[in-house]
Amino acid sequence: MKKNLNSIFTRVNTMVGVIMLLMLTGLMLQSAYAQIRVGFEPRTSVFTPTKTIYNVRGDFTMIGNTNMTLQNYTVGGQNGLSTMIYVDIDGDPNTLNSSSATLQLSDENGANPACSNIIYAGLYWTGRAHNSSSVNTFTVTKGSVTKNYDKSVVYLKHESQSDYTMISASDAGFSENIYYPNGSSGNMYSAYAEVTSYVQQHGLGNYFCADIALREGGSSSDGTGYYGGWGLVVIYENSKMSWRDITLFDGHAYVEGGTANYDLPVSGFSTTQSGQVNMKLGIMAGEGDRPIEGDYFQIINQASNWVSLNHAGNATNNFFNSSIFTGGNARNPNLLNNTGMDISMFAIPNTGNSIITNNQSSTTFRYGSTQDTYIIFCIAMAVDAYRPEPEGLNTLATINGVPYTPGMQALPGQTIVYQLEVRNKGTEPINNAQVVIPMPYSASYVSSSASFTYTPVGNSAPIYDAGAGATGSIVWDLGTLPLPADPDDLLATLTYTLQVTTNCVILSNANCEVAVTVDGIIEGTGATSNIEVSDVPFIQGYTTIEECIGEPIYDPVNVLIDAADYVNQNCQGTPAIPDFAYCNFPGGVIPVTEVLGNFPVGSRFYNAYPPVQGTTEYTINNPFPATSGTTTYYAVPPGITDCYYTFTITVTNITSSPGPVSPVYCQDDTAVPLTATPTNPTYTLYYYTTASGGSSQLSITPSTVTPGTTNYWVAEGVSPSCVGPRVLLTVTVHPRPDCLITGPDGPVCPLTAGLVYSAPADMSSYAWSVSGNASIVGAANNQSVSVTAGSGCNQSFTLSLTVTNSHGCWRTCEKVVSVVDDTAPTFASCPSEAIDLGCNPTTLPDADMAIVAVGLVTDNCDASVSVTASGGGISGTCTKTQVWTVTADAECGPDATCLVTYTWTVVTAPVIANLPQGG
């Protein structure tokens, strides 16, 4: 058998094909008869804690046997009315009860069972050891051997081993483990433990299960007898086999003899798209008596009718009849009447796909009883399925620049280069294809690059997402993977580099060999079928072993770290216990997915080491409690090993809230940082701009530019990732009032008294003031005021107003008013034409005459105006011209001028020249 610890993808995904929890809420005519003691839930593996449906080329199988039989065996004997004794076939004098069964796997399509890869194995055991009260631990003596039995403990051995291995249901992760009634439910108990590592290690062959907590003897008067036995469920894959969707779920359903039925809806699988659909069912039950009829197991068909099921070892009206029908594998003892132990594995008749058809994703089972009392604790189902087939081939390229050869080790701080080749091995393109590679706890991301042989759409560059998974992941969106002409055609290549850790906490753990273990998954949706695939593990190649040649190798890529010298030189005195800190974790529990990426793949987590009876295991179904303080835990890698890691989880629970201070501002005020009052002075206050999400800030100063309210939130805590509830803090900014002075901008001479100015209405207060040559008449706190300007030339005054609104917000504005003389003096008469003085005037004009010529001079501001004349120059020969400039000079304001022009003619008596003398 090929050993394979299976690939782990630690990132928590919601499986597309999640099986519905078996909500056993079906029709019950008498609810007291059929009661669910432990609700049925999907059973997951520690290797794949989020996988609830196994989409594999492969199948499941069941084996098991009874560890009790009739003292006087008959085929039709009933344990409820007979004395029961131990079956003990192992030849070991130290065991009181034992039986065996041989694990064999399918050779479908020429598959070699020895080449199949076991991906999950679960061990169940059940029994009834008391008639009245039924404690979990009790002592049994037979001959010279005394046993201290515990219902949650059994012992498992492969034929290749000389000693048994203790298997404890307290490792199962369910607090009920599964169910151990005391004085109720017929005292029939059921238990479970995962044994994947053990079965992977030992493979095919004969398995013995011994010392189930049972007692020999008679039954109670109600006819419920002693019984006991075990069953092993194995899920495996082989590349030559057909695709199947396999689901496994368990719980504890108690069916008391009477009239009752119960529905079990199941969904999430995807049957094959065409052709005949084959469906296989596996059931484990206890205390179904062979001679008592009336118990049945049904499935609903395509016509919505119930079809009663059976196999070659039972009947439709006596389904639970103490038969072990598991495919003909060898077992010891091989009894027809297993007196209370039912293990059935059979094909559901589906002629013409009348029960399960193509492209179906859900169905419903129904079981019940009219007479017999029994329990059901395990159901498995496999259905022919179709799946798109992306493939990721993950290989090593170099270590610290040196091409990799098998057996090479890496030193702390060195780089390792990997190559991932992506192909599409299916029959359709794959949309939304994505690769996710969780970072191993022993290395960190350095870089990555991608190349394509097709043209991807959108952003196809790989990114490192530190928030994906416990230690971050490389996330590579491939777009749509095309369907190549040859399924071996390479479509895309991712080259990525990791650096080996130098973390002394990891490297100096003397209990374990440290390695860089890398794996990942591909997921996407079939472009034609619209069927989603997720968690498709990488392969690291194909086996070349002759009998298994061509089988994919699903083991992660593993490189040992040679850390001895580094630890001696750098890690002395380093604490060897890592701590994971959490705060206010939702739900009061911490999922194992929060920490499992920090340890080797497949590690199991306990509250003590070594795990012993009573040790608690923490799984996907049994998370760590979010208990305040620091708690020590242990991570144990898979397989039988002395390797373990000690770690602590520190939980801080902050439920208090600070007292927020909600400030009120006026628009454009100078704001100060937000404040609140912490409940504990050691807490730090963190401020946020959203009610949830977003980053915290140690200080926020609000804006006061825009009126209105703005919400902020404040919380107290010890770090940004560890805070209590956020409380609302509201900043209010009131508007400032409009400040506008209406009224005259400025009077002119003559000065105006009683100038009226007004402010906006509806203010809570007004405050007027004036500066300059003016004064306010009357009260200065009214909406309107009257202002009197003073006398004098070119005066001005400034009117100031402060208004306050109902919010107490104020604003000040000003109005500058000018008192000016902007009008020139006026002449009574400014001659527009020259004054003609005639010929040879006796008196020539002078300045006074010019002033008189303009007449009376008046001004709007000045009572008296100074009038002067200048010029008076005479020009011309016969006609003389004289111009005077008369200026009226006002005390305030501009001057006025007038040109006064005089003209006159100069006449001279003619002179008679000497006449010529006559002679």
Question: What pLDDT, on a 0 to 100 scale, did the predictor assign at position 393?
Answer: 97
Largest CA distance in the chain: 213
Q: Please, what is the average pLDDT of the chain?
A: 88
Residue 502, amino acid: T
* Sign, Cα dihedral of 127, 131, 135, 138: negative
Question: What pLDDT, on a 0 to 100 scale, did the predictor assign at position 45?
Answer: 86
Q: Per-residue pLDDT for 640 more than 90?
A: no
pLDDT band at 914 (very low <50, low <70, confident <90, very high): low
* Inter-residue contact 700 to 712 (CB < 8 Å): yes
Question: What pLDDT, on a 0 to 100 scale, did the predictor assign at position 219?
Answer: 66
Q: How many CB atoms lie within 10 A of CB 428?
A: 20
Question: What pLDDT, on a 0 to 100 scale, did the predictor assign at position 918?
Answer: 55
Report the chain's C-alpha Rg in angstroms: 51
* Inter-residue contact 208 to 11 (CB < 8 Å): no
Q: CA separation (Å) from 918 to 912, 914, 915? A: 17, 12, 9
Q: What is the DSSP letter of 820?
A: B
d(CA 765, CA 763): 5
* Inter-residue contact 421 to 462 (CB < 8 Å): no
Question: What pLDDT, on a 0 to 100 scale, did the predictor assign at position 639?
Answer: 64
* Inter-residue contact 702 to 711 (CB < 8 Å): no
pLDDT band at 719 (very low <50, low <70, confident <90, very high): confident
Spatial CA neighbour of 812 closest among 745, 733, 759: 759
pLDDT digits (tens, 9 = 90+) for 293-321: 888 999 999 999 999 999 999 999 999 99
Question: What pLDDT, on a 0 to 100 scale, did the predictor assign at position 917?
Answer: 62
Spatial CA neighbour of 421 closest among 461, 459, 463, 450: 450
Q: CA separation (Å) from 776 to 203, 220, 490, 625, 817? A: 109, 114, 94, 79, 13
Q: pTM of the predicted model, to two decimals?
A: 0.64
Question: What pLDDT, on a 0 to 100 scale, did the predictor assign at position 789?
Answer: 81
Residue 652, amino acid: T
pLDDT digits (tens, 9 = 90+) for 504-522: 888 988 888 899 999 999 9
Q: Which residues contact 104 (CB under 8 A, 6 or more apart)?
A: 61, 113, 204, 327, 329
d(CA 168, CA 188): 18
* Inter-residue contact 891 to 862 (CB < 8 Å): yes
**Hey, is 848 helix, strand or coil?**
helix
* Inter-residue contact 756 to 783 (CB < 8 Å): no
Q: How many CB atoms lie within 10 A of CB 170?
A: 21
Q: What is the DSSP letter of 852?
A: H
Question: What pLDDT, on a 0 to 100 scale, did the predictor assign at position 16?
Answer: 25
Mean pLDDT confidence for 375-387: 91
* Sign, Cα dihedral of 125, 127, 133, 135: negative
Tokens representing 117? 């890869």
Question: What pLDDT, on a 0 to 100 scale, did the predictor assign at position 519?
Answer: 93
Mean pLDDT confidence for 606-621: 84
**Hey, is 598 helix, strand or coil?**
helix
pLDDT digits (tens, 9 = 90+) for 546-603: 788 889 998 899 999 999 999 999 988 777 788 888 888 777 899 998 888 888 877 8
pLDDT band at 540 (very low <50, low <70, confident <90, very high): very high
pLDDT band at 201 (very low <50, low <70, confident <90, very high): very high
Q: Per-residue pLDDT for 438 more than 70?
A: yes
d(CA 342, CA 282): 10
